[in-house]
Amino acid sequence: MWDDAFPSFLIGLREGLEGGLIVSILVATLVRAGAKSRLPQVWTGVLAAIALAMSFGAVLTFTAASLSATAQEAFGGTLGVIAVAFVTAMVFWMRRSARNLSGEIKEKVTGALAMGAGMLILTSFLAVGREGLETALFLWTTARAAGESAGPLTGAGIGLVLAAGLCWGLYRRVLRINLTKFFTATGAVLIVIAAGVLGYGLRDLQEGGVLPGKAAYAVDLGGTVDAGSWYSTLIQGVLNLTPTMTWLQVTGYAGYLAVVMTLFVRGIRSPSPAKPSPAAAAGAGAPAGSAARRRPAWVVPVAVVAVPAVVAGFVVALGRPKPGGAQTVAVSEADCGDGFSAPRPGRQTFQMRNTGSRTSEVYLIDPATGAVYGEIEGLAPGTTRDLVATVAGGSYAWRCVPSGGTAVTSKAVRVGGGGGARAVVPVSEQDLAAPLKEYKQYVEGGLATLVAQTDRLDDDIQGGRLDAARTDWLTAHRTYSSLGAAYGTFEDFDKRINGRPDGLTAGVADKDFTGFHRIEYGLWHGQSAALLKAPARQLAADAAGLSKAFPAQDFDPGDLPLRAHEILENTLQFELTGQADQGSGTELATTDANLAGTRELLTVLKPLLAGRAPHLLPTVDADVTRLQKLLDASHQGGSWTPVDRLDATTRARLNGATGQLLEDLAPVPDLLEIRKSA
């Protein structure tokens, strides 16, 4: 988040300071001219400018959200290029005008005073409005590039607040800032950031089909640069440089930076001579008369703020597709899809109304394959909820599954046009039965091995052979760690076998601290065999008890897809941070075992994933291979490098590779979620 905040912080600070300086000069000029009564007109113009900027941002956000994916890319790319043009012009204008800004504004205010209230409102509106529009456009572009809005908005907010404080200090004469140097320094940084925004915009235009060459890569470091590492995230967030860039991106980035930065630096070295400030006309005052008093004072401020908002509302309403032709679709035990007619292609909102007496699951499906385009779970009787889905060329029908009842499918409708809408082929419990059976056999075999290994560990400790116990401890713990997808079925056995001291009253000395980590703590903290005999005997007994109980325990088939992501999520949280270590320094050995368990799980799920996401498995396989190579390089024989002894680069690569694998595994639970429509 914070790496995405910096560019917006800079634009908020710079544009806020620019607009704030203008307002400060307007206010100071009126006060010194003895025209304080005209200050409300200045603030009215400022409010109108803010309302315009916010309305413009709303139009950008909501009209873009209503476009297709391809159109969004083209729209975002176009606005990105426009934003770069605006920022570039702003950088050069402020470098040139910083010295003479006060004189120019005073001249305009003097003229506005002589021409009446409307002109003064217009002057302040135009002076601040340009900065507001530039800020809204740049923030929208950077938020789109970052893929989230929290960071950019937070950065911009901090920058604007700081700018307001600086302007207040300058107005009160408690601060002195060399504005020429300030705008020169921030201008150089903004040129670098704008080059990245330009590269991102060009990529969007390629993705949107406006420009060619989206597959012509000049740089492809995806296999060597960790996209999830802190330095990669920082570079992408601030500079918009990504591990993979096309020739057009690289050319645009380098060309813009070379040309614009050269012109900017040349302008600094040979500045144009400052123009003398024009003499302010004296005696300008507020025009007298009762005409200005005929309307209430609040009318104009309210109007100038409300008009942009109303206009933006109309633009958004007209620019977005109507919700599915305002279709209300009935759902009941006997009749599903009443009121459904062929919708238009594009993103649609259907109002699903449960007219029956039972809670129902509702699915928009392809009737030929059963693939799901959208769904609502638990639609209660008498309630209405929106279902949003993207509709393209093809056949569509509704499938309603009432609680305790039989599924009902509506009549199919045909939508013309090309394909492209994403659908998920539903998975039933029966579909997961074979993978579940295969995985349970893997776990049962692993538990049988675990029983033999914990018995050997117990024998080592009972016989006082602590060196052998350390070796056998690691072997047994790796076996247990490779069974991660079954942890949810182990009930209380998992806490006793692999629990950590976190949260226990007495910590490592607590009587409830048992299992592998209790023995690990003792073996690597110099405890005697006598102190470890009871924990070792208990661990062996718990392993045997689990092996005996597991075949009869309930294993929810829906847990399998969830575990594909959760095993390595816990690894990243505990093993790769060192939190789970109790002295052995074998966190990477546990990570290796967790990866083996994940690989086994993906093997049993592969038949289901292959038809639903054919491009996912090759990507995940490449991620697994990459992480495995990093782990293999971190040990020799039975000796593993502790996480806290890894150099910063290796540790960042491990975290980055694990994070990337987690990101690529994230769709698996949704793809293989058990749906009643199946």
Task: Note the pLDDT tens digit of each residue in 379-433.
Answer: 888 888 888 888 888 889 999 988 888 888 999 998 876 555 667 788 888 999 9
What residue has token string 């008009």? 307
Longest dimension (CA), the chain: 107
User: Which one of 30-39, 244-253, 444-453 scores highest in mean pLDDT?
Assistant: 444-453
Q: Element (H or E) spanning 374, and its range?
A: strand 372-379
466-498 burial: b if 16+ Cβ within 10 Å, else e: beebbebbbbbbbbbbbbbbbbbbbeebbebbb
284 versus 522: the higher-pLDDT residue is 522
What Å distances lie between residue 586 and 24, 156, 247, 474, 644, CA to CA? 62, 44, 44, 8, 11
Stretch 151-178: mean pLDDT = 72
Cα atoms in the Cβ-side hemisphere of radius 13 Å centred on 382: 1
Q: Are 277 and 19 in contact (CB under 8 A)?
A: no
Q: Which amino acid is at 166?
A: L
The pLDDT, as a whole number, for residue 274 is 46
pLDDT of residue 638 exceeding 50, the answer is yes
Residue 183 pLDDT grade (very low, low, confident, very high; cuts 50, 70, 90): low
- The region of weakest confidence among 261-265, 601-605, 642-646 is 261-265
The pLDDT, as a whole number, for residue 433 is 92
Q: Are 370 and 409 in contact (CB under 8 A)?
A: no
Give Cα 122 distance to the centre of its chain: 40
Measure the CA–CA gap between 564 and 569, rounded to whole angstroms: 9
pLDDT of residue 347 exceeding 80, the answer is no
Q: Are 22 and 128 in contact (CB under 8 A)?
A: yes
Measure the CA–CA gap between 400 and 406, rounded to whole angstroms: 9
- The region of weakest confidence among 16-30, 190-204, 248-262 is 16-30
The pLDDT, as a whole number, for residue 566 is 85
**Tens digits of residue pLDDT in 562-578:** 888 888 888 988 899 88
Measure the CA–CA gap between 49 and 127, rounded to whole angstroms: 9
pLDDT of residue 328 exceeding 90, the answer is no
Q: What are the residues facing 394 on neighbouring strands? A: 415
Stretch 107-111: mean pLDDT = 57
pLDDT of residue 158 exceeding 80, the answer is yes
The first and second tokens of residue 230, run together, are 């802190």
Mean pLDDT of the chain: 78
Residue 142 pLDDT grade (very low, low, confident, very high; cuts 50, 70, 90): low
Residue 596 pLDDT grade (very low, low, confident, very high; cuts 50, 70, 90): very high
Residue 623 pLDDT grade (very low, low, confident, very high; cuts 50, 70, 90): very high
172 versus 2: the higher-pLDDT residue is 172
> pLDDT above 70 covers what percent of the chain?
67
pLDDT of residue 280 exceeding 50, the answer is no
**Tens digits of residue pLDDT in 229-255:** 556 655 665 566 777 788 888 899 899
Q: Phi and psi at residue 297, in whole multiples of 5°? A: -65, -25
Residue 439 pLDDT grade (very low, low, confident, very high; cuts 50, 70, 90): very high
Residue 288 pLDDT grade (very low, low, confident, very high; cuts 50, 70, 90): very low
Q: Are 50 and 16 in contact (CB under 8 A)?
A: no
- The region of weakest confidence among 201-210, 216-225, 503-512 is 216-225
pTM of model > 0.85: no
Residue 368 pLDDT grade (very low, low, confident, very high; cuts 50, 70, 90): confident
Measure the CA–CA gap between 28 and 418, rounded to whole angstroms: 62
Cα atoms in the Cβ-side hemisphere of radius 13 Å centred on 394: 21
Q: Are 202 and 249 in contact (CB under 8 A)?
A: yes
**Tens digits of residue pLDDT in 512-545:** 999 999 999 999 999 999 999 999 999 999 999 9
Length of the chain measured in residues:
678
Stretch 490-514: mean pLDDT = 90
Residue 342 DSSP symbol: P
649 versus 271: the higher-pLDDT residue is 649
The pLDDT, as a whole number, for residue 322 is 44
pLDDT of residue 122 exceeding 60, the answer is yes
Nearest to 207 by CA among 170, 256, 242, 158: 242
- Give the pairing of strands 635-636 and 394-402: unpaired
286 versus 221: the higher-pLDDT residue is 221
Torsion of CA 524, 525, 529, 535, to 10 degrees: -80
The first and second tokens of residue 435, run together, are 């993978």
The pLDDT, as a whole number, for residue 481 is 94
pLDDT of residue 295 exceeding 60, the answer is no
- Give the pairing of strands 346-354 and 328-331: parallel
The pLDDT, as a whole number, for residue 87 is 64
Q: Which amino acid is at 275?
A: K
The first and second tokens of residue 639, run together, are 């000796």
Measure the CA–CA gap between 124 and 26, rounded to whole angstroms: 8
- The region of weakest confidence among 69-78, 279-288, 563-572, 605-614 is 279-288
Measure the CA–CA gap between 312 and 321, rounded to whole angstroms: 16
Q: What are the residues facing 364 on neighbouring strands? A: 374, 398
What Å distances lie between residue 593 and 480, 571, 588, CA to CA? 8, 10, 9
